[in-house]
Chain A
């Protein structure tokens, strides 16, 4: 079974629109970490945000915000006022306390921002 599910395969938005990327995870560990990474065409995974299982506080960092809800096992990521440079594949990842640095990645959501 997939530990991380990103149901949205592709999303297209017009520049300046807000966009939310969905992520649902599955784990039995009580200690775990959730991440969002961005992968531009160059291939490098760029770290965006991270949350641990004990902190459900949702925050805003610039144009990025996230909604972490343990009750629904979701860790959604929102980009406000999208820009063309935001076009990339976005990955949600889970790291469990019992398996150290082993990341479980979702299948990614390809975001295209249309100028």
Chain B
């Protein structure tokens, strides 16, 4: 069974631009979560989607948004990029929210210049 896939793997943007990252969960998994990893803040929860609905959101500004499609694929969008948004963005999927183990994708490395 294929794992979680994320596209693109690497991205370079400039301040003020916007970016969209994509995540395809493991087949059959309906819950998708997003995390941001930076050297300074570590791994931080962004948001979680299940059945096309955002169930939970971390403490990030409104510039960070996401959505989930009927096939469970998810996208996250960051508008008006700032230098501090440079990070590894990780997507994780699980069968359902709650007690299930989350499996992570390889991440998208975003560099904002």
Residues of A at the B interface (CB closer than 8 Å) are 33, 35, 37, 42-47, 50, 52, 91, 95, 97, 99-108
Closest to B49 in A: A101
Name the one of A52, A97, A101 contacting B56, with C-beta atoms under 8 angstroms: A101
Task: Indicate whether A102 sits within 8 Å of B45 (C-beta atoms), given known contacts A52-B99, A97-B98.
Answer: yes
Question: Once A and B bind, how many residue pairs between them come within 8 Å at the CB atom?
Answer: 67
**Quick one: which of B42, B88, B102, B105 contacts A101, CB cutoff 8 A?**
B102
Q: Which of B42, B44, B92, B109 has the most CB of A within 10 A?
A: B42
Given A35-B101, A43-B109, A97-B99, 9 more A-B residue pairs with CB atoms under 8 Å apart are A43-B88, A44-B106, A44-B107, A45-B92, A52-B99, A100-B98, A102-B45, A103-B45, A105-B35
Closest CB in chain B relative to A34 CB, distance in Å: 11
Q: Choose among B35, B43, B58, B101 the residue with the greatest number of A CB atoms under 10 Å from its CB.
A: B43
Interface residues of B (CB under 8 A from A): 31, 33, 35, 42-45, 48, 50, 55-56, 58, 88, 90, 92, 94, 97-107, 109
In contact, B101 and A100 (Cβ under 8 angstroms): no
Hey, which chain A residues are within 8 Å of B90, CB to CB? 43, 45
Q: Is the CB of B104 within 8 A of A45?
A: yes
Could you list 29 examples of A-B contacts with CB < 8 Å?
A: A42-B106, A43-B88, A44-B104, A45-B90, A45-B92, A45-B104, A46-B104, A47-B101, A47-B102, A47-B103, A95-B98, A97-B99, A100-B55, A100-B98, A101-B31, A101-B33, A101-B55, A101-B56, A101-B92, A101-B102, A102-B33, A103-B33, A103-B43, A103-B102, A105-B35, A105-B42, A107-B42, A108-B42, A108-B43
